[in-house]
Amino acid sequence: MGAAAGRNIPRLCYVSWRAAGGAWTRGARGGGGRETLRRGGAALGLFPGERFKAGTARLEPGDSLVLYTDGVVEPGDADQVEFGEERLEAAVRAAAGRPASEALRAVIEATQAFSGHDRYDDDFTLVVVKRNAAAG
């Protein structure tokens, strides 16, 4: 596993990010909506002087932000069907009312249950940030 982190941040209103290569950002809105946050550039280190566009999003109470690399959605089952973004979204939605660390664990467990093993053939980096529903 490359990296995994889960953290609840009670008073955060905005997040900013820069993505490179195979990293994706997905937002889950507390009211049930979802949003794919796109910004970035080529894979890190491929081109000298590459510039990466910054993105900013507002996190409302109850919102989640999920940052992940392609290794999270690529684990395959016995038929080589990938876990995919739809299953990732379903795992995040299923853990919507839980703390960030538990949502993170739920996604990891979902990828392992789907693939039938607890090892990954690619990098596996996953970060879950949640703004508490009661945050002001």
Percentage of the chain modeled with pLDDT above 70: 67
**pLDDT value of position 87:** 93
**pLDDT value of position 89:** 86
Domains in the chain (CATH in brackets) are 3-131 (3.60.40.10)
* pLDDT one-digit tens code per residue, 89-128: 889 888 888 899 999 999 999 999 999 988 888 888 888 8
In 3D space, the residue among 29, 92, 24 whose CA is nearest the CA of residue 60 turns out to be 29
pLDDT band for position 2 (50/70/90)? very low
Mean pLDDT across 66-78: 88
pTM of the model: 0.74
Is the pLDDT higher at 16 or at 25? 16
Phi, psi of 103 (to 5 degrees): -65, -40
